[in-house]
Chains A and B, each alone.
Chain A
Amino acid sequence: MPYVLIAPFFILFAIFGLFPLIFNGVVALRTWRLDDPAQDGWAGLANFERLLTDEDFGNALYNTFGIFLLSTVPQLLLALCVAFLLNRRLRGQTWFRVSMLLPYITPLTASTLVFLVVFGRDTGVANWVLSVVGVDAIDWRAGKLQSWVAIATMVNWKWIGYNALLYLSAMQTIPRDIYEASALDGATAWKQLWRITVPMILPVVIFTVVLSTIGGLQLFTEPMLLDSNPASASGGSNGEWQTIAQLIYKVGWKNLNLGYAAAMSWALFLIIVVVAVVNTVLTNRLGGGKR
């Protein structure tokens, strides 16, 4: 009987989750063209070899990492600050917490389209704010750094509140007497934050680092919709902000070369695993964890 209960999950997962992942590896070793099935055949490692010298892939990799750094680090630090604020005795506590989820529930396509208007060159709100503080208008889609900042802003907007709630939940399980004892020893609020709060919530911090690594390296919607011609999937006139996930879409469904797209997604998978492991180790060190 128990097997009957778990069978639907495992059957569906095997077909639509596990099988595609493995089959992706097979496709990556083949020539698999949507436009010309006659070309389909065994390719060996050709797709992967091509990857190593592909300038588009190199560029997308560079962009993905740039955006990833600009989004993950501020996102998690700001989430920590917000959680720190939410961890006080507040009036309207539930209300504040629920409102933190507004960005999280807003469809990414919708919020990206809004930010597209906000980051408009001539009449965008972002440039208006900058002009108020005396900075010249920025053409957000004209270069790598500024387009990365625009995309990172969207990512940060969406995820800060959600991560803050995760941190808050961990903070509230820290025993009160640890704070009381340290306060009697003369620790300042700042010291308490870095010596008690952060180390005690480290497992959750690592959890969020892994999650945002997985999400951040697969950015797709934001770079797609920032383009003036989204359907081209080119990420700017010179690929200024084209990410790997976007390039996979372009190679697979615009250039109709599924074999090569599959090889790219396998490469991305390996990159994500490596980065997630490195980030976990780094976070653990910085957070004062054991080892």
Chain B
Amino acid sequence: MSGRAPQDTPAGKWTYLLLGLTFLLSIYPIYWMFVIATSTDAALAEIPPKFLPGGEFMKNLDEVFSLQDVYFAESLVNSLIVSTVVTVSVLFFCSVAGFAFAKLRFRGSRILMVMVVLTLTVPNQLGIVALYILMGYLPGEGGWNGSLLAVIVPGLVSAFGVFYMRQFILGAVPDELIESGRVDGATTMRIYWSIVLPAIRPALAVLGLLTFVGSWNDFQWPLITLGGTDYPTSMVALFDLASGNYVLYRRVLAGAFVATVPLIILLFVGGRQIVRGIMEGAVKS
């Protein structure tokens, strides 16, 4: 045994072999989803299991999109609207609040920040019954249940976002820069816009990606408030797709694949950023 730390020891072939295996197991279900999504009904019954994709993807997709009572195309648009609005809002409100907590002095800031951190540990799913009732009382016909507002508005801010932004701004924006902005007579909003925002781009990318993925994949609350309506999100539409009396898995998985692709693209584009964000976030917390 040489006197080297693990992170300085070159990986041997066993390490690559095991990591390769881990990778294969990670990607297999997604690949299998694609295989079935591109096949005929008979593919599911093959033993040993079918390994290569077939040529039926467009046909299956066409069936998914033309199914009545599932609203698959609409659901994709709804998911896109919900996730985009939620992401933009979380980025703005959380970076603004994080900036205030990191760099501005005001009475009660410590206690309020402790509150933010505490709310991180409370799973808000546990207030789900009351949230549903609350939505019923909001203005509009029958309240907000069944409308996209019910899934958008509660997601507009996130405690994790405020916490993450505060941590990042503490480290990434020097006090001197803000002081000099003040000396030049800039308002607080001006300082946020032209000093803070450019400095926290990496954090915005990470929080944005995580928020988009989380919002896109959210299932329980959308099912409760949008289930059975004509305005599902794509996760609720997938549930509908798998709930009929006559379920065809090539169809179900074709739909599932379509709902997964946007996130795979996001991971492909922003993977480095997300990984860096997770790695840095864990060290600080």
What residues of B have a CB within 8 angstroms of the CB of A189 in the complex? 1, 6
Residue contact B26 to A269, C-beta cutoff 8 Å: no
A98 and chain B: residue at smallest CB distance: B271
Most-contacted residue by chain B among A114, A197, A252 (CB, 10 A): A114
> How many of chain B's residues touch chain A, expressed as a range?
35 or more
B266: Cβ under 8 A from any A Cβ: yes
B281 and chain A: residue at smallest CB distance: A169
Residue contact B123 to A214, C-beta cutoff 8 Å: yes
Residue contact B159 to A13, C-beta cutoff 8 Å: yes
Residue contact A94 to B283, C-beta cutoff 8 Å: no
How far apart sit A164 and B125, CA to CA, in the bound complex (Å)?
26
Per-residue interface assignment for chain A, residues 158 to 174, with 1 indicating a CB less than 8 Å from any chain B CB and 0 otherwise? 00111001101111111
How far apart sit A109 and B257, CA to CA, in the bound complex (Å)?
11
How far apart sit A188 and B272, CA to CA, in the bound complex (Å)?
33
How far apart sit A24 and B131, CA to CA, in the bound complex (Å)?
8
A23 and chain B: residue at smallest CB distance: B130
The residue that A249 contacts in the complex, of B1, B123, B224, B282, with Cβ under 8 A, is B224
The residue that A110 contacts in the complex, of B94, B227, B257, with Cβ under 8 A, is B257
Residue contact B1 to A183, C-beta cutoff 8 Å: yes
The residue that B6 contacts in the complex, of A192, A252, A265, with Cβ under 8 A, is A192
B7 and chain A: residue at smallest CB distance: A87
One of B56-64, B65-73, B214-222 at the interface = B214-222
B154: Cβ under 8 A from any A Cβ: yes
CB distance from B2 to the nearest CB of A (A): 7
User: A110 with B238: in contact, given A105-B263, A169-B282 (CB under 8 Å)?
Assistant: yes
User: A183 with B256: in contact, given A99-B23, A105-B213, A253-B224 (CB under 8 Å)?
Assistant: no
B82: Cβ under 8 A from any A Cβ: no
Residue count of chain A within 8 Å CB distance of chain B: 111
The residue that B242 contacts in the complex, of A230, A245, A252, with Cβ under 8 A, is A230
A89: Cβ under 8 A from any B Cβ: yes
A115: Cβ under 8 A from any B Cβ: yes
User: A12 with B157: in contact, given A1-B188, A84-B6, A109-B239 (CB under 8 Å)?
Assistant: yes
A120 and chain B: residue at smallest CB distance: B44
Residue contact B272 to A109, C-beta cutoff 8 Å: no
B25: Cβ under 8 A from any A Cβ: yes
The residue that B32 contacts in the complex, of A9, A118, A172, A184, with Cβ under 8 A, is A118
Residue contact A6 to B217, C-beta cutoff 8 Å: no
Residue contact A105 to B264, C-beta cutoff 8 Å: yes
How far apart sit A188 and B1, CA to CA, in the bound complex (Å)?
7
B109: Cβ under 8 A from any A Cβ: yes
Residue contact A110 to B26, C-beta cutoff 8 Å: no
B172: Cβ under 8 A from any A Cβ: no
Residue contact B47 to A123, C-beta cutoff 8 Å: yes
Residue contact A230 to B282, C-beta cutoff 8 Å: no
What residues of B have a CB within 8 angstroms of the CB of A252 in the complex? 129, 132, 224
What residues of B have a CB within 8 angstroms of the CB of A108 in the complex? 217, 219
What residues of B have a CB within 8 angstroms of the CB of A111 in the complex? 29-30
A60: Cβ under 8 A from any B Cβ: no
B168: Cβ under 8 A from any A Cβ: no
List B19-40 residues whose CB lies under 8 Å from chain A: 19, 22-23, 25-27, 29-30, 32-33, 36
The residue that A207 contacts in the complex, of B192, B267, B285, with Cβ under 8 A, is B285
One of A49-57, A62-70, A144-152, A218-226 at the interface = A218-226
The residue that A107 contacts in the complex, of B256, B266, B274, with Cβ under 8 A, is B256
List A1-59 residues whose CB lies under 8 Å from chain B: 1-3, 5-6, 8-10, 12-13, 15-24, 26-27, 32
Residue contact A117 to B44, C-beta cutoff 8 Å: yes
A61: Cβ under 8 A from any B Cβ: no
A231: Cβ under 8 A from any B Cβ: yes
User: A231 with B243: in contact, given A6-B101, A12-B157, A265-B129 (CB under 8 Å)?
Assistant: yes
Residues of A within 8 A of B (CB): 1-3, 5-6, 8-10, 12-13, 15-24, 26-27, 32, 82, 84-91, 94, 96-111, 113-118, 120, 122-123, 125, 128, 157, 160-162, 165-166, 168-174, 176, 178-181, 183-184, 186-189, 192, 197, 204, 207, 210, 214, 218, 220-221, 224-225, 229-231, 245, 248-249, 252-253, 258, 261-262, 265-266, 268-269, 272
16 extra interface residue pairs, beta carbon distance < 8 Å, beyond A18-B119, A120-B44: A1-B188, A5-B99, A6-B112, A9-B97, A9-B116, A16-B134, A90-B11, A90-B19, A94-B275, A101-B275, A106-B30, A107-B234, A111-B29, A183-B3, A214-B121, A249-B224
| 24 pairs, CB–CB < 8 Å, chain A vs chain B | A5-B96, A5-B100, A6-B101, A9-B93, A9-B94, A12-B156, A16-B124, A16-B153, A20-B129, A82-B19, A96-B19, A106-B30, A113-B238, A113-B256, A115-B29, A116-B249, A122-B45, A157-B29, A176-B7, A186-B1, A229-B243, A230-B239, A249-B223, A249-B224
